[in-house]
A and B are shown apart, each in its own frame.
Chain A
Amino acid sequence: MIPAPFDYSCPSTLNEALELLQKHGEDAKILAGGHSLIPMMKLRVASPSHLVDINEIEGLSYIKEEDGYLRIGALTREVDLENSEVITTTYPIFLDATKLIADPQVRNRGTLGGNIAHGDAANDHPAVFLSLRAEVIISGTSGQRTVPIDEFFFGFYTTAIQENEILTEIRVPIPATKTGNAYYKMERKMGDYATAGVAVQLSVDDEGSCVYAGIGLTNVNPTPLRASRSEEALLNTKLGPEDIAKAAAYASEDCNPSADLRGDEEYKRAIVKSITKRVINAAIARF
């Protein structure tokens, strides 16, 4: 299968790209890694009449800690996470997630920005960014705006990004010293979307009491889901087995999985419960 015909632009600056989006309105789609979009276009599930290829725009690919944040440029490729020292030392949750995304060839192209801008609850980084309480930086012709991750996802393929805007950065508050984070997703086969996935970041104070809990769920809800009750169940506790069991049970109850070839609702809820416990323990092991 091949895509329907379309026009194509390859701007070299962000401003050019924004002007093109302004000009073509809802007929235009951004092409970054293209490994969600192009398969959809080949199936003709998506037929934008104009593609704005942003891959040649400089300055949108970076991973750096600055001003209290880990700042990741939207065009950072999945493979770049694997080669980043700051990610490996402080944010191994990204390594957990990226190695479960598709395969090496796809990871050479797929971008962090695209992974969340696509608005698909089945993608892995949304849950990761939920657990890290990220902020999304969106650029438009009148400047930049910041959207907290909890206000970013609206539904199927729908995010806070408007027609004439481009997601340019995601930033994560640099966590407190005693922090651990981890991600795991259950999949039927290598590179599959999640049957269910769980992202966790926890911080404790010097007495071992939990002062931060972020838990995000992948593909068990129409949008990426924050397991709020689970987070509350862990805050101000010593993260003992009963606290963890409660958090896992709540995550299982509060998600809304749909039955599909990956499993029925009951099965997916059971997986969520099991993985939530596993990932909480993995995060604790990384303090």
Chain B
Amino acid sequence: MNKEITFTINGDEKTLEVEPRLLLVHMIRENLDLTGTHIGCDTSHCGACTVLLDGKSVKSCTILAVQANGKKIRTVESLAPENEYDAIQEGFKENHGLHCGFCTPGIMMRTVELLEKNPNPTEEEIRWGISGNLCRCTGYNNIVKSIQYAAAKIRGDELPATDPVFV
């Protein structure tokens, strides 16, 4: 029997009638047309589906849409305020933090919570912090640099130098 759920998605309130078995990631991508969140694996490993649910980063492929009732969902589309780059997006842009970009939205949303909880993470804390997100392209080093850059930008500190090879 379908359920009616109400939630906010990237700040906007929405009410939908859904099957209980509808996964949150499918609701986001297909019912809400927000295709920035990706489906990478089907085994809850890769983290490409990571979104924020009431501020916590979660794998939306392993959560039912009905569990978002009364909650706030944030996806990668919420990062770009008015055509400027968000600090995290700028970090990935300036430090070549992506190749194919498939894992990137999930890593960015994970980074939002990571930096909120730990605004000045060490490299090791960043690597542990993104251990729920798999990337097949980059080898992670530039992802780490992107996050360090974003962290510095959010703190208002001097930005780390970007490697000129990738500019």
Contacts and interface: CB of A to CB of B under 8 A. Distances in A.
Interface of A: 1-8, 10, 31, 34-35, 38-39, 41-42, 51, 53, 55, 79, 99, 102-106, 108-109, 190-191
On chain B, which size bracket covers the interface?
20 to 34
Interface in B36-74: 42-45, 47, 50, 56-59, 61-64, 66-67, 69
B19 A104 contact: no
B129 A104 contact: yes
B131 A108 contact: no
A103 B66 contact: no
Contacts of A35: 44, 59, 62
Contact of A55 (B67, B128, B131): B67
A104 B67 contact: no
Interface string B64-105: 101101000000000000000000000000000000000000
Given A55-B67, A105-B110, A42 B42 contact: yes
B44 A7 contact: no
A53 B67 contact: yes
A3 B21 contact: yes
A119 to B, nearest CB: 19
B90 to A, nearest CB: 23
A130 to B, nearest CB: 26
Contacts, number: 81
Interface in B106-127: 110, 113-114
A105 B113 CA distance: 10
26 contacts: A5-B19, A5-B20, A6-B20, A8-B20, A8-B64, A10-B69, A31-B67, A34-B62, A34-B67, A39-B43, A39-B44, A39-B62, A103-B131, A103-B133, A104-B113, A104-B129, A104-B131, A105-B47, A105-B50, A105-B57, A106-B44, A108-B58, A109-B62, A109-B63, A191-B45, A191-B132
Given A42-B42, A104-B129, A105-B132, 20 more contacts: A1-B42, A2-B23, A6-B21, A8-B66, A10-B66, A34-B62, A34-B67, A38-B64, A51-B64, A79-B56, A103-B47, A103-B131, A103-B133, A104-B132, A105-B58, A106-B62, A108-B58, A109-B58, A191-B131, A191-B132
